[in-house]
Chains A and B, each alone.
Chain A
Amino acid sequence: MVLEKVQEMLAEKLGVPAEEITAESEFSALGLDSLDFAEMLMNVETEFGVSIEADPSIKTVGSLVEKIEELQKKGS
């Protein structure tokens, strides 16, 4: 669920089909610069009601999804 939504948000932002974005995709390889990344984190926070620290270990779509899920569990 979280993965699908993140894929959808990224696809919309990048103007590419959602199929091109997988859990393994790295943000830098997708063409997201640091400003885009910060903006995306803000959007993710709003969408999922979590607060994410900018963490250098979040490099792939999958690692972001894990982070969101972990925070959601803590919150509930």
Chain B
Amino acid sequence: MNSPLCELLHIRYPVLQGGMAWISDGKLAAAVSEGGGLGIISAMNAGADYLKEQIRLARSLTDRPFGVNVMLMSPHAEEVAQAVIDEKVPVVTTGAGSPAKFLPAWKAAGITVLPVVASVASAVMAERAGADAVIAEGQESGGHIGELTTMALVPQVCDAVKVPVLAAGGIADGRGMAAAFMLGACGIQMGTRFLVATECGVHQNYKDMVLRATDVSTTTTGRRFGGNTCRCLKNPFSRHFLQVEYQPETTAEDVADLGVGALRLAAVEGDTKNGSFLAGQISGLVRKEQPAAEILREVCEQCDALLTGSRGKD
């Protein structure tokens, strides 16, 4: 597929796999990169040692480029930012904050930097700070989200910046990808669809919950006190969280404590009751577990067919 993103990142398909904490490890990233997209290892809240281990794992599985997602709110952000330089990682995506602080060092090291943004202002600031492209992520996404939808956000970001724009949030097939191109994006990022990839090592219960999900299966927690809104699948954990969150005497600190460890319980233990199963609104469209390469081919072929005029298969 022809996209400036393919040249920028040296990939075949203009598709990134979202950095999902506790989920996007070296194995999944390598499978996506082998399949022609760009795999992303999530540095999550872990230290540099974990990241280096995952980078080595990915390099043992593929010679193709892959990236690392740096969570800027992580207590280990500094050491992780240095680790991507030391390990000569070609691409970095950032989430949960402004990457301006680390951009000069990353650019000096020749790293291509793609911040995830949820508003026009943060996209403009990222461009000004030297970002090579931005990932405009709508609130359809799983995990930490902003307020705008992909449909509203992407064209507004495209009008506001000169760098390439990727669309993320609510995309899981070729129709979504084609729509993203129509909105002005030159590539996409998908998380939920890759969560059920054969090569994804997340607990089977997590995959099953995504595969069984329908259009109304997700909810958002953490909205009340702002800044920490998180989309997850409805389960006993999410219902308990929301019940506590909206009690009058509950404080922002109480809410922050509620989520601690819940993601690990979901991804590693497969605890369907107490875990927090982050997933996007498009989960209802995700119906089967299949190899990452097959996902990439299917999505891009359908998108291509739609964009060249013939109707893509449903």
Contact = CB atoms under 8 A, between A and B. Distances in A.
Interface of A: 14-16, 31, 33, 35-36, 38-39
Contacts of A33: 219
Contact of A39 (B214, B235, B236, B243): B214
B236 A14 contact: yes
Given A14-B234, A15-B235, 6 more contacts: A14-B236, A15-B272, A16-B273, A33-B219, A35-B216, A39-B216
Interface string B216-252: 1001000000000000001110010001000000000
A15 B273 contact: yes
B239 A31 contact: yes
Interface of B: 214, 216, 219, 234-236, 239, 243, 272-273
Contacts of A36: 216, 234
16 contacts: A14-B234, A14-B235, A14-B236, A15-B235, A15-B236, A15-B272, A15-B273, A16-B273, A31-B234, A31-B239, A33-B219, A35-B216, A36-B216, A36-B234, A38-B216, A39-B216
A27 B214 CA distance: 19
Contacts of A15: 235-236, 272-273
A15 B270 CA distance: 12
A7 B88 CA distance: 55
Contacts of B243: 31
Nearest to B219: A33
Contacts of A39: 214, 216
Contacts of A35: 216
A38 B216 CA distance: 10
A34 to B, nearest CB: 9
Contacts of A16: 236, 273
